[in-house]
Structure 1
Amino acid sequence: MPHPTPYPVRLADEIAHQLDRLTDQLSQLPADQATPVIARILNLEDGVLGRFTHLVATGSYFAKDQAELGALPAEVWLALGRATNELHDIGLDLEEHADALTGFSTRFAAPAAKPPAAAALVVRRRR
Structure 2
Amino acid sequence: MSHPAPYPVRLADEITRQLGQLADHLSQLPAPQAAQVIARVLDPDAGVIGGVTHLVATGSVFAKDQAERGALPAEVWLALGRASNQLHDIALDLDEQKDTLQDVGTQPATTVARPPAPAPLVVRRHR
Per the TM superposition, whether the score is higher than 0.5 is yes
Give deviations 1:70-118, integer Å, cap 9, x for gaps. 0000000000000000001000001111111111123344544543221
Structure 1 distance, partners of 2:110, 2:54, is: 37
Gaps of 5+ in 1: 123-127
Task: State the percentage of identical aligned residues.
Answer: 67
Gaps of 5+ in 2: 123-127
Give deviations 1:1-25, integer Å, cap 9, x for gaps. 5332111111111111111111110
Structure 1 distance, partners of 2:121, 2:58, is: 38
Q: Which residue of 1 aligns with 2:77?
A: 77
Structure 2 distance, partners of 1:9, 1:63, is: 17
Amino acid at match of 1:75: E
Higher alpha-carbon deviation: 102-111 or 12-21? 102-111
Give deviations 1:25-51, integer Å, cap 9, x for gaps. 011001011000000001100100100
TM-score, normalising length from structure 1?
0.88
- How many equivalent pairs are there? 122
Q: Which residue of 1 aligns with 2:11?
A: 11
Higher alpha-carbon deviation: 21-30 or 109-118? 109-118
Q: Which residue of 1 aligns with 2:116?
A: 116
Amino acid at match of 2:80: L
Which residues in structure 2 correspond to 1:1-127 (within 5 Å)? 1-112=1-112, 114-121=114-121
Superposition CA RMSD, Å:
1.6
TM-score, normalising length from structure 2?
0.88
Could you tell me how far 1:65 is from its partner in structure 2? 0.3
Q: Secondary structure at the match of 1:60?
A: helix
Moved over 4 A (4+): none
Q: Secondary structure at the match of 2:27?
A: helix
Structure 2 distance, partners of 1:15, 1:112, is: 39
